[in-house]
Structure 1
Amino acid sequence: MLLELDKPALLNSYVNTINLATCCPSPGTRCSVSGWGTIKSPQSRFYYPIIF
C-alpha cells in the first residue's frame, strides 16, 4: 500500500524515504521486509518465515 500525504513529510533520523523495487524478484529469491500490521492472514496462500 502506498500513502499519499497532504504535505511533504519532515525527514529526520526516524522518518526517511526508501527506494521502490523496479521489478519483481524471481521465485525462490530471499527477501527482507519490514512494516507494520499483522503477520498472518487467513486468506494468504503464502508463508513468510520470521527471521530476526
Structure 2
Amino acid sequence: MNNHELERLINEKLNTAAFSDYGPNGLQVEGRDKVQKNYHRRDGKPGAAG
C-alpha cells in the first residue's frame, strides 16, 4: 500500500478534519513509500501466520 493512500485512509477513519489542533507538522512517521503487513508465525519466525 502506498503511504499516501494509508494516510488518506487514516485521516478518513479518524475524521481528523473535525478537530481543531495546532500541529504545524502534523503527525510525523518516518517510513518507506510502500508499506505492507508483516505476517509472523507463532514461533516468531517470518512466514505465514499459523
TM-score under structure 2 normalisation? 0.22
Between 1 and 2, higher relative CO (CA 8 Å, sep ≥ 6) is seen in 2
Specify which structure has the higher proportion of helix.
Answer: 2
TM-score under structure 1 normalisation? 0.22
